[in-house]
Amino acid sequence: MGYKKALQQYIEATNTHDFNNVKKVLHENAIFWFTDQTCTTIQEIQNYFENAWNTIKEEVYTANNVHWLTVDQNSATCTYTYHYEGYHNGKFVSGSGRATNVFIKNEKGEWKLIHEHLSSL
């Protein structure tokens, strides 16, 4: 069940708008695929997150309809529908899309997010 907690911690960390919190749940070799960009380093992922938080103020990110596709002792993969809402240039905005997350257990036995693929609807 640690992989489910890892997803929950990732969502909670994202909603703090502090990348130091997000970084704690990421694997050091994480790769993120966004609709408009691929991030292959922690620094690129941080830049993308911080830009998003600066663009959509007070953003709240949620994961719905989580489906765990594969789970074994060292890895777990899920899909879900994400939803976000916040303020862009003072106006309330919201949107959603699809996500795939891959978690692996590191050498310390901790579940870490190694891959995320987001696409907007």
Q: pLDDT by residue (tens digit) across 2-11?
A: 999 999 999 9
Tokens representing residue 30 in the block: 């994480």
User: How high is the pLDDT of residue 73?
Assistant: 96
Q: What is the pLDDT of residue 121?
A: 78
pLDDT value of position 64: 97
SS3 label, residue 19: helix
What CATH number does the domain containing 43 carry? 3.10.450.50
pLDDT digits (tens, 9 = 90+) for 51-106: 999 999 999 999 999 999 999 999 999 999 999 999 999 999 999 999 999 999 99
Report which DSSP code applies to 43.
H
pLDDT of residue 1: 58
Domains identified in the chain, total number: 1
Model pTM score: 0.94
Residue span of the structural domain in which 77 resides: 3-120
